[in-house]
Copies of this chain bind each other. A is one copy, B any other.
Amino acid sequence: MPVQQTRARNRQRKILNAAATVFATRGFRESGMDEIARASGTSKGGLYFHFPGKDAVLLAVLDQTAVLLRSKVERAIAAETEPVAAAEAALGVLLRTLIKHRALARVFAVEAMGAGSGFNTRALEIQDEFAEMIRLQLDAAIAQGVIEPIDTTIAAQAWIGVLHGVITRWVTTSSRERRPIDESYETIRIMLLRSVGAAPHAAIEARSHRGSGNG
């Protein structure tokens, strides 16, 4: 019976990928189940066999995104020893992963926010999850006296908020006028470090690039 299960799992992945692309391209509200079905090589009925409705598909895309990001961020943090470097690495890997998956990024940062209260609540919960990871690093940094004492919950949310803004701007810009994000991110990285009273080291960012191997 694992044959069926495997097939079902594959089909669900296919649907989720297609849905992310469709949602990102046309917007959640404008996307029809017909379109998602066609894009995933399924029938409308097949969609409803795997998901109870359109909302559930968006929620599943959101959760899939969360799982993807969570594993990457956890690994990135674990790879660092310095808390500030870890916080920075978390942010960096979030940015790079979302850039690599533009459709997911758009769904996560834009579509989910405007798709109704159920969805933006979920999206904010996921953001909070990452803010919490960063908060732990900032707390550690304060304990070590590396950065100034500060309300780390707010600070971590602010960091995530800036990231959200960068991503939003990036996914809502047409590819023609879109510029590589690294330029602006370097400025932002420095600002964020300064905002908590940490001295920005170029080396830190460099180090955080390691270990983000398989994407």
Contacts and interface: CB of A to CB of B under 8 A. Distances in A.
Given A27-B114, A110-B113, A160 B155 contact: no
Q: Taking each of A110, A114, A184, which has the highest tally of chain B beta carbons within 10 Å of its own beta carbon?
A: A114
Contacts of A27: 114-117
A197 B199 CA distance: 11
A150 B191 contact: yes
Overall SS of chain A's interface? helix
B150 A187 contact: yes
A158 interface: yes
A172 B110 contact: no
Interface residues of A, number: 40
Interface string A146-160: 000011001101101
A157 B172 contact: no
Nearest to A111: B114
Contacts of A120: 110, 114, 168, 172
27 contacts: A27-B115, A28-B114, A29-B29, A29-B114, A110-B113, A110-B114, A112-B114, A113-B113, A113-B168, A114-B114, A120-B168, A124-B169, A124-B172, A150-B187, A150-B190, A150-B191, A154-B187, A154-B188, A155-B187, A157-B165, A157-B169, A158-B188, A162-B165, A165-B165, A191-B196, A194-B194, A194-B195
